[in-house]
Homo-oligomer: A and B are copies of this chain.
Amino acid sequence: MKPRATIRDVAKAAGVSLGTASRALNRAGRVSEDAIAAVTKAARQLGYEPDAVAQSMRTRSTGVIGLLVSDFANPLYARIITSVEASMQAAGYTLLLANTHNDRKREKALVETFRGRRVDGLILGPCEGESPELLERIDADLPVVALDRDFSASGTGVHVDHYHGALQATRYLLNLGHTEIALLTPGSVLRPGRDRIAGFEDAYRERGLTPNPKLIRAERSAMDYAFSEALGLLSAPQAPTAFMCLGTRILSGVLQALRHSGRSVPDDASVLSIGDTDLSQLFSPAITSLTWDFEAVGTALAQLLLKRLDRDLKAEPERIVLTTQMVLRESVASAQAPKNKAAPGASARRASQKADRAG
């Protein structure tokens, strides 16, 4: 196995100096056409490929950007990341990916690792115990774009407006006569979770109602956990008549609990998914969802980072807020007419108009 050809070999083969070869390869500075031709040919013959590590060392730029989320297999992240990757790949960047498992310590270690690897930029998803200061400190010498994450006053990031989303979805359910609504979303310490809870509670308050804190379950995102939580909720005296569920796993757990307890959707209980997925679309009945444009989140993330990478020093921070949309399907019915199997679509449509007016 012969050692890889270096630019030195190319220069020698082309009969020029090392510097000229470099300039010819990068078409930088003044080089003659002859030199370019000779160097290009020699490079091809030798199968020369530049050593990106050496280039990075020299140029202080790696062409790599780091992406840290709690779990990139989570469908809610997977599509965002795919979209980021597409944009960054088109711009010539490659993605260094790692999962934080929502562990602050691990995140910190990974940020250090990535920074040590001299990534050109960082995209950070929400993580438990996140602190704006940490982000700002990092951002001081490494461009960081935050995803749905606390970023205090300054800082660049993309945010989904979970607050107004939850507000709208909760209003929608309240309009349908539901008063006992369960909100299952993990991470009340995370920005998305907190904002959802705030919107949820405000929707109650604006009607002069007080949300039942026991119906807000926000611990972990796991199917079996959601299953037992939902089961517990259902067996309580004031069983919820509607469930708002974040993500595939929680939705799964709730649907199983409902099935297990012999209740049918939406006749016995309404279900609303936060974050639309395959499951919510295909489930029968199809699940009404509060969702947002995952691809757009990824594009926005990439765009912001690219811009920051471009004017490499500190441009003014920028943030993009994306709104949520309600996708009305079949899993939500009026609380007043639980047995009105005939026209769930009609009642949903009617309620949607109300919700639109209210929102």
Contacts and interface: CB of A to CB of B under 8 A. Distances in A.
Interface of A: 1, 4, 49-54, 56-57, 62-64, 71-73, 75, 78-79, 81-82, 85-86, 89, 94-99, 112-118, 140-141, 248-249, 252, 255-256, 259, 277-279, 281-284
B95 A98 contact: yes
A118 B53 contact: yes
Nearest to A249: B278
Contacts of A79: 73
A79 B78 CA distance: 11
A283 B284 contact: yes
B248 A49 contact: no
A240 to B, nearest CB: 20
Contacts of A259: 284
A225 to B, nearest CB: 15
B115 A49 contact: yes
B85 A248 contact: no
Contacts of A71: 82
A71 B81 CA distance: 11
Given A49-B112, A97-B97, A113-B94, A252 B82 contact: no
Contacts of A116: 49-52
Contacts of A284: 259, 283-284
Given A53-B56, A95-B98, A113-B94, A82 B73 contact: yes
Contacts of A96: 64, 94-97
A101 to B, nearest CB: 9
Contacts of A98: 85, 89, 94-95
B64 A117 contact: yes
26 contacts: A1-B140, A4-B141, A49-B115, A49-B116, A51-B118, A52-B117, A53-B56, A53-B117, A54-B57, A64-B96, A64-B117, A72-B78, A72-B85, A73-B81, A75-B75, A85-B97, A89-B99, A94-B113, A97-B97, A249-B278, A252-B278, A252-B282, A255-B282, A256-B282, A259-B284, A278-B278
Contact of A279 (B50, B97, B282): B282
A250 B226 CA distance: 28
Nearest to A61: B53
A86 B103 CA distance: 14
B118 A99 contact: no
A78 B73 contact: yes
Contacts of A72: 72, 78, 81-82, 85
A49 B113 CA distance: 9
A118 B252 CA distance: 42
Contacts of A54: 57
A222 to B, nearest CB: 13
B99 A117 contact: no
| Cβ-closest 6 pairs across A and B | A73-B78, A73-B82, A52-B117, A52-B116, A97-B97, A53-B118
A85 B53 CA distance: 22
Contacts of A53: 53, 56-57, 62, 117-118
Contact of A141 (B1, B114, B249): B1
A338 B56 CA distance: 66
Nearest to A83: B73
A62 B116 CA distance: 11
Nearest to A56: B53
